[in-house]
């Protein structure tokens, strides 16, 4: 079994939130660029593929963050029971 300290989980949670925020900003930029009328079809297709990869990464990071949050919640509840 793997043991986690609360500090390491909090650090992981914060790191995942930071990465999610960066990807959220990247997606916003891709959406702005992707709607430009000056793009060629080929360039638009490349942007769409990159956006899809970012969305998949965003979903994975969100899932990881949610799992970390549940684990933190469980550990904190256990700690409180011990008080």
Ordered by start, the domain boundaries in the chain are 6-81
- Give the residue among 11, 10, 52, 12 at the shortest CA–CA distance from 31: 52
DSSP per residue over 20-50, as a string?
HHHHHHHHHHHHHHHT-TT--HHHHHHHHHH
Which CATH code of 1.10.3470, 1.20.58, 1.10.10, 2.60.40 fits the domain covering 6-81?
A: 1.20.58
pTM: 0.80
Alpha-carbon separation of residue 73 from 52, 61, 70 (angstroms): 31, 18, 5
pLDDT, one tens digit per residue, over 1-38 is 567 688 899 999 999 999 999 999 988 887 777 677 77
Model confidence over 42-82: pLDDT tens digits? 887 888 888 899 999 999 999 999 999 999 999 888 888 87
- Contact predicate 23/54, CB 8 Å: yes
């Amino acid at each position: 079994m793997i043991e986690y300290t609360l500090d390491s989980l909090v650090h992981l949670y914060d790191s995942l939130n930071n990465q999610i925020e960066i990807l959220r900003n990247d997606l916003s930029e891709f959406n702005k660029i992707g709607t430009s009328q000056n793009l060629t079809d080929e360039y638009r297709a490349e942007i769409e593929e990159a956006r899809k990869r970012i969305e998949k990464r965003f979903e994975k990071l969100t899932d990881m963050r949610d799992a970390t949050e549940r684990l933190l919640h469980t550990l904190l509840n256990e700690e409180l029971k011990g008080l």
